[in-house]
Amino acid sequence: MMDLATFKFVIIPLALVAWWWARKGAPPWWLPAGVQLLLALLAESLAAWLLYHERPNHQVYNIYMALEFASLSWLVASIPKPDRSSIRIALVCALLFFAVYGVEWYRGSMSDDATLFHLALNAGGILLALQSVLALHRLVQSGPVDAMNNGAIWVLAATCLYFISASPLLGGVIHFSHSEPQIALALLDVNDVLFVLRYGLCLVSFIVLRRLAVRTA
């Protein structure tokens, strides 16, 4: 039976296919959404390959975390469309994120790649969740929103759900990793559930985009 950690190699390619399928008349956030999916597939594939060969893979995730933060900030700043306010917020959040990342690297967390990744994900996740909430506010202010037929709602839900939940979860992983490793592993399993749900919601968002394009053609 396929476990959730492996299922990511099914859900991400499916989301990429749906992303390409929804390209006709796509909104501004379509491109950064695809960039993020491609980065996720490459990072997860390389990390799995390193793990299979019993080599450390946390450095892959550390690099990916920075690239993911940039691509998702680009995505969220493009909803409903890029403007000075959303770009300014994204830049401020980027400065905060890379400041935290740089400080932790300088303090020596780089010697423990797993800790650096979890700390970066906690900081970046909180900032991405904040940006997503603000993007949702902009979207609602821009006019009437049909939640079931608006792809942006689904992709924002994916970002909010995962990063609001994953930040405290991975904080727990850091806390329990040495004292209670079984609890840390259980929390990582919950994170895998959230990960798959996140990309499942992305898949739904592209299906909604495609259905809307067909309906308006």
Contact 32, 72 (CB under 8 A): yes
**pLDDT tens-place string over residues 150-161:** 999 999 999 999
**Percent of the chain whose pLDDT exceeds 90:** 56
Q: What is the pLDDT of residue 139?
A: 93
Q: What is the pLDDT of residue 1?
A: 46
Q: Please give the C-alpha separations between residue 25 and each of 35, 139, 154, 212, in angstroms, as whole numbers.
A: 17, 18, 18, 9
**pLDDT tens-place string over residues 17-55:** 999 999 988 999 999 999 999 999 999 999 999 989 999
Q: What is the pLDDT of residue 144?
A: 85
The residue ranking higher by pLDDT, 48 or 116, is: 48
Contact 133, 160 (CB under 8 A): yes
Closest CA to 19 of 1, 3, 4, 41: 41
Q: Which domain holds residue 157?
A: 4-216
If one counts the domains in the chain, the total is: 1
Please confirm whether the linkage preceding 56 is cis (ω < 30° from 0).
no
**pLDDT tens-place string over residues 58-107:** 888 888 988 999 999 999 999 998 999 999 999 999 998 888 877 777 77
